[in-house]
Structure 1
């Protein structure tokens, strides 16, 4: 089913639901633009496009409908081969963004996006536990702002800025790097390095992880 492994991705401050195979929740997307997917599916050019897909790829399922609540993946879902022309009908800018997200979901990594997202979340929890234990060992308590500052430190190392990042919109490569930096910070906290020392070490480590990718891209 298209509704399995739902992945929310952010576009202009709002979440749009995809799955790991690149399907999009068309009902949710169309509603944001004041439209309905049924309007697009009834268009003569859409019907002609569907017939063309069937001639090319056979009679596979391109449209699925779930009667679940919208917040549980309900609505009309479109196959990735339909998602981009559908997105074009809503907005050219939205089409370009959708095309990028679908390509990333399908071809961006052999690893599962959700597994990487979970790994980053587990890494963050481990880092917070290490921070709390480190401060307790020093006879200090861990307040909310300590965890916020540590999250900002991670963002500086990975993204070059301290402000918050929507993790659900990150690429597989970004999530992988994020998890690595969180693991390294957990280790550095255990070694007793202070904030500035961790910042320097994490920034250096992040650059080391990026250099092979840059060299591979230039080869």
Structure 2
């Protein structure tokens, strides 16, 4: 993100947002960013902030080492660096990265406090820009979900056309035709979700939408694939038990692949 002409790199780890302290420090002095960060970390208030944050969010944090640093903080002889803090306390709130986009990164909670120490005005601009980026990210995720849901619906038309052409006998009344459609839709639900649409509704009476509305993006991708494959299996004349076994195996394989993918 760009704040008042300063490019600030963001980094994600374990679904947490980290912001470059090195880039924030450039707002004050672009030539001595490491010194600025170290001066901030010499303060007792900073050490307490870092320690209390780790106590809340990091089960592996070393409290005894934290107490030792807290007693020394503020003394003229006290020196603290991000690397020293991380190595001695097993901290996760700060991250040191090397390379082109390297430097010192901090969890957004900590990074905003550092920005406040640099400049209250600059902190407010950082917050504004960060919120804008998160809103854009949420919009993209919503767009992805809607796209996959639409893709599943489009493929469903292919799927139902195959049913109509191959499974529906002549002269059936509307109720029987609808029953066959619902039965095939539930075949896919069982293959992917393990339950039928009715079973899901019975288990979730207060939830808006249906089982597919509540699906994840990964599930919708697999559902889209299952619909296309099921139409092929129907054209081949396979029975429902045969198709259900194949579709379930495929669903398990594809979900594993998607969930293990970065």
Q: Structure 2 length normalisation: TM-score?
A: 0.41
Q: Structure 1 length normalisation: TM-score?
A: 0.48
Tell me which of the two structures has the higher relative contact order, counting C-alpha pairs closer than 8 angstroms and 6 or more residues apart. Answer: 1
